[in-house]
Structures are given as structure tokens and as C-alpha cells.
A and B are shown apart, each in its own frame.
Chain A
């Protein structure tokens, strides 16, 4: 086969196992030039392993990678760089102490003739890159001041700056608002026009069908299908991924809605949100929708006592509650799952059981001594209920896939048996199957009498799960829609401040 007709990258019978567990088994497919190739599959399906092989972070046990028809040994990330293979990682890997420009060129500063760092060239080429991307921060902006969405855009700029031939985007849209996603897609198409191949990994299947030319589905480390995107619908992709249909995704159980449990009035935090009032009832799921930056998480954090409120009052079951500290909130039965819960909610090196028992240690330690058997039993109960894929409660959290880690954090808070649960993007970055598990759990909790405030950027999730939807825009509550009246259009209209929105 001549180099010209060979695909840009071809994978042949790649296999990789970790300690006897197959992460990848016999996977073969090809990635063409100037195309967007979506890679989908549940967490643990083998996507990350595949990316790591392509970027030289891990080495396959068997099989080979061909670049333009020639077999290549990708020994390390630098070798991948030389082949033009660049990955944008799921968690932005930025350098907070440095400027945007130096972040882009970290480790490969442009040099002047005498070998010094060429700051001027660095700034101007980053400025050009940022203009192309249409972002509104400059090369001299300190990265410490950028939020998650901006950092993601920075990652894209970083990848673009390397003249990549194959750009791997692992969940690039997870933290982006719809507007930003559109901008990213425009950039992706522009890159494709220049002949770059893009491997696009996303759990948002509507994005996959919108941007991809071809789709490869992995399941349990095996290759299920590679097909042109035009031949696949979202529902078909889901079926290939899990063998379940879309209807199973939002299994909302009927819950009896009772008395008001949480009441917030006039909540204000200067410059962030103002005059936010709402009620939450027993057994009710209230969705809090809006674009990234509308102030949803900030409201949740303030109620939980992480950020200070400048004004406003909160009642829990009719009694005044002053949000001062997370501890105080927990004592009143209020639990909050933060957005970057893998960072804030887990001790990665410790076993599942230890992580799970953290919030309920007093109950497991009668007389001040830990009863390991109770701890194990607790862990097993939640592993079963939430279908956490692990060999035993003693397995360290670090060795679990992202989705399963997510479930461990959720279990940890549930173990404390709160009566009010604030979930901040509970399925952010989670695969379809895990999502359904999480949704099922949320729904069951509500049916059992818990009150749930669901902060989510995913409209389908908000619509599918909520009894009532609150919409925020620019720090204000702009709409309240009962389940029957809530629709994708109405939420987006309200969130964007477009005419026709319920005010």
C-alpha cells in the first residue's frame, strides 16, 4: 500500500490488559485524513486506553499502530508529537502560575537566534491563535484567572499550536456552554478543512452526530462498529454502546410531593447572583438550568455554606438556617455534591470502603473503634445499589474508571442519609450507562422522600428528571416552569433572555 492511499492512522489488532483485565482486545479501525472520527463507548469501554496508546503514554501488549501505512512504535508523548499526534486531555492540564502564552508554549518555548526565549514571537503567535479561535482573553492573561471553560479553550489553542495531523479531543465540550460548543465546532471544521484528522470523544451524542464524519463504538474493550455518521442515529449509537434503548435513560419514578423542606428568599452574593428565591419540597426534584456562568453552582455553594451570602435568608423545615460552613449544613441534613467531585470528594489512594465511610464514621465506630465489617457492609450495599464496577470494597478509588468514581462520591454523601441533596452536574463527564444508573438512583431517592436540587447544563437531564425547572440568567432567577410546561425551547429562551420567555 502506498503512503498516499493509506489512511492517516490505522490500528491493527491492538490489545492491552491491566492485571488480567482486558482494557482493549483486538481493536482494529482506521482514521482518515481530513475527517472527524468520533470515538464513543461507556466509561471503561477502552477509549482512554486507546488514546493513551496513540499518545505513547502506555504501550500495547499486542497489535500495531500504522501512520501513513508505516508501523510505528510510539514510545513516549514526544514520539507521538513527532508523528503529529496530539491529545487534548479531559481535565485541563494548565499551568495556573503562568500566562496564557507561556501555557501554550510550555516545554517548547520559541527561541531567538541566541537561544533565549522569544517572548515577542510567542505572544504574537498566541494572539493570532486566540483570534482564530475567537476567544476574548489575550496571550498575557494569567491563567489563574480563567474558569474551566476558558481553560478548555486554552487547551485547544495549545493543541492547535503544534501543527497536529491527528488531534485527539477527549471530552472537549464537557464544560462548555452551547455558544462555546458552536465556536469549538467551527474551529474543528476549519481544522478538518486544512486536512487535520480529529478523534472526537464525547458523551453528548447529539454533538457526535452533529460533528462526526465517522463513528467508532467500543464496548468492554472490544470494537463494536465503525460506520459513517450519516448512517447512524443517536438511538442506534446508544444501542451499540450499551444494548439498551434511549427510553431507559430517564427512568423518573413518581414521587409523592410533600411539604416545603427548603425555602430560600432573596439570596444575594454581590457580583455573582442576586435576589434568588425558591422553595424545595419533600420528594421533589427541582432542576436549576441556565448557561455556564449564570450563577447556578454559586447559589448551591452559598446555601451549603462554602461561599458567603451578602443577603437573603434560608429556612430548612420552617426553621431558620444560617449557611456558615459545610459542617453546619450537613448537620441540618443538607448535602452538596460539588462539580469537580473527583478532586473535592475523594481520597484517590484509599479504598472504596474508606472513602464511603468518611461522612458517617461516628455510626461505624461505636465506642470509638471502627467496625470494619460494618464499613464493608456499607460499601457492598452501595456498590450493589449503584452498580459500582469493582472487585472488592478494598480496591483503591484511583483504579476505578471515572464513572465509577462518580458513583463512589455519590454513595459517600448518601451514606450520611441527608434529607436535602444538592447535585451539581451529577453526570458531567459520565458515560451513557452510568448516567442511567445515576438518574435511576436520583429518582429513587426522591421517591423515598429526599428533596433534590439538580444543577445541570444538560437540558435533557433537567427535563427528564425535574418536577419543576428553575432557570437562571446572569445571576437572576428568570423562569420557573412546572414539569408539564417545561420544554427545551422554553428553557433555552429563558436562559438566553430571548423573547417569549416566561419571566
Chain B
């Protein structure tokens, strides 16, 4: 009579179906572009996509953590720009600095920005969407101030750094390897790290989380710090990829990241979502971006299409959730009636 095991399959099946849905959309997009755009299905182009998607995935892993707690980090675009500039500017003036140290610097600056967001949200009690909208401007403003309107040019950078993004160990661009590492670590943490499980707990019911003794403030703070740090890493990758960095670097990048996360099935009301989903979402966004550019379709249609994809994804999620709840409840009721019957006869 006990139906253990069956229920677990329901939940994971639904989650997998959701991921499978994006996967199908992704496959369809790839197929479409392969047929339509002659230069789409080439090794060079796919490495291009992989490098583009690497940045989105890296930042989206942090964004996922924030969104899981029922918050959002809109400042990542500016953090990417700021850390990209700091990375390349430091290298431009100090050729001898080892590249990993530059990456660490970018991560540290990003984490500091993230802590700033976290403080506004947890201590300042400002809703995350407003707080990070403000810091989106503030961090961009800081960037304008430090650049004094100047660019860092590729010619100023050491050759070792310029080569980084071009390397393709085992056929995959080095930046994609980094993103893959970040995604795997992120996925492992979200499954097995107690503090990361708390993010789901908080997003699912913040008040109950507090009553259960979860340190909500600390955890939300951590999520923002991680999001900032990974945006910092994203900035480092941006510098490595584009070499030339100016004050508008990474502008609008937050849109790609949030789109990837939402299309990837991370619930904007917190409590559910996965790194795998966000990664697939990022792949879809990057593929669409790439394909539309290759096909020389106007920017209007590109963003129109992305916006539509968000609406579709969120609608599908809401319907899924509703259907799931109804199906589960119906089954429970049937079970109870059956149990009642066997108890009374």
C-alpha cells in the first residue's frame, strides 16, 4: 500500500521533462540554423558559441543561487564590465602579473560587489530587484570613473593573456572548460552542500526557514557574494575573449543571464531550479544570438524572440506546477479513499 519510490520518480521525472523540453528546443534551434545558415555548423562557429556561452553559464550559476532564495541579482552586467576592465587594465600596466592572480583579483572585486548587494538586501532590507537595479547603475558609474573614458586595447596586453581564449584543449575552448568546471562545482554544491540546500529551503518558504533556525541573512548574503564572485570570473573571461575593454563592456549582459536562468526553469519565486537547467538555458540563448547574427536577422527579431522564449518558459513552468499539484493531490485522495475503504470493510 505504501507508495514510496513512485513519488520520487514523479518529482524527478517532472524536473527531467522540464530539462528535456529545453533540450528539444535547443536541438530544434541548432537544426534550424544548421540548415538555414551555411556557416553555422562549423567547428569554428561552435567554438565561438561555446566561448560565448561560457561567460553566460559562469555568471548564471551564481544567479541561480540568488534566484533560488527568491531574490535576483540584476547588477551582474556592470560587475562583469567593472572586473573585465580591472583585469585588462592591471595586465596592461603590469605585464608580469601571473594570469591566475588576475583571475583571483577579478573574483575578489566581484565578490566585494556581491557583498554590497547582499548588505543592501539583508541589512538594508531593500527588495533585491530594487537594490541590484541601483547597484547596476552604481557599479557602472564606478567603471566610468575608473576608466576616465579610456579603453584598454588588445595591443597593450601580454601575449599569454591574448592566447588564453584562443586555446582549445581537447577541442573545447579554454573558457568553456572553466565554465564547465564552475557548473559542475555549482551543481555538486546545490545537491550536497548543507548551506546550498538552505537556499532551496529559504526560497520555498522564507518565514518557515527562519522558524526552522536557518540563518536566512547569512545564506542570502552568501548567495549574493557567490553571484558577485562568479560575475567577477565572468568579467575576467570577458577580458580574455574581447581583449579590448571599455566603459560599456558587459552592458545588457544581465539580461542574457536572467533569461538563461528563467528559460532554464529556475523558479523566479524561489525554491526550485538547477544548474543543469540554467546551463541549457544559457546554451539556448547563446545559440539563438549566434544564429540570428549569422543569418543577419535584425536585432529587433532577436530580442523579440528571446522575450517570447521567456514568456513561453514561465507559462510552461506555471502550468506544469499546477498540473503536478493537481495530479499528486488527486492520487493522495484516491489513496486515502482506498485506505478508508479497507479500514471500514
Contacts and interface: CB of A to CB of B under 8 A. Distances in A.
Interface of A: 77-78, 81, 89, 93-99, 102, 106-109, 111, 115-117, 127, 136-142, 144-147, 150, 179, 271-272, 291, 293, 474-475, 496-498
Contact of B344 (A95, A115, A139, A496): A496
Given A115-B193, A150-B332, 15 more contacts: A81-B213, A89-B211, A93-B205, A93-B207, A93-B208, A94-B205, A97-B270, A102-B197, A107-B201, A109-B197, A115-B194, A136-B3, A144-B321, A271-B333, A293-B333
Nearest to B7: A141
Contacts of A106: 198, 201, 208-209, 212, 214
Contacts of A144: 321, 324-325, 328
Nearest to B210: A77
B200 interface: yes
B2 A138 contact: yes
Contacts of B270: 97
B34 interface: no
12 contacts: A95-B208, A96-B271, A98-B201, A98-B271, A107-B209, A108-B212, A127-B4, A140-B4, A140-B7, A142-B7, A145-B329, A147-B333
Nearest to B337: A474
A393 B312 CA distance: 45
B5 to A, nearest CB: 7
B335 A142 contact: no
B203 interface: yes
Nearest to A144: B325
Q: Which 3 A-B pairs have the closest CB atoms?
A: A145-B328, A138-B4, A140-B8
A389 B340 CA distance: 42
Interface string B191-230: 1111001101101110111111110000000000000000
Contacts of A142: 7, 10-11, 324, 328
A141 B8 CA distance: 6
Interface string B237-269: 000000000000000000000000000000100
Contacts of A498: 344
A93 B210 CA distance: 10
Nearest to B330: A271
Contacts of A93: 205, 207-208, 211-212
B334 interface: yes
Contacts of A140: 4-5, 7-8, 11
Contacts of B339: 136
A81 B211 CA distance: 11
B211 A138 contact: no
Interface string B312-345: 0000000001001101111111111101110110
B75 interface: no
B1 interface: yes
A89 B208 CA distance: 10
**Which of A107, A115, A137 is most buried by chain B, counting CB atoms within 10 A of its CB?**
A107
A147 B2 contact: no
Nearest to B325: A144
A97 B203 CA distance: 9
Contacts of A150: 332
A272 B331 CA distance: 11
Contacts of B192: 116-117
B334 A271 contact: yes
Contacts of B201: 95, 98, 102, 106-107
B200 A98 contact: yes
A137 B7 contact: yes
A258 to B, nearest CB: 37
B200 A97 contact: yes
Contacts of B335: 136
B2 to A, nearest CB: 6
Contact of A145 (B204, B208, B331, B336): B331
A98 B340 CA distance: 27
A142 B12 CA distance: 10
B272 interface: yes
**Which of B198, B337, B343 is most buried by chain A, counting CB atoms within 10 A of its CB?**
B337
A96 B205 contact: yes
A108 B213 contact: yes
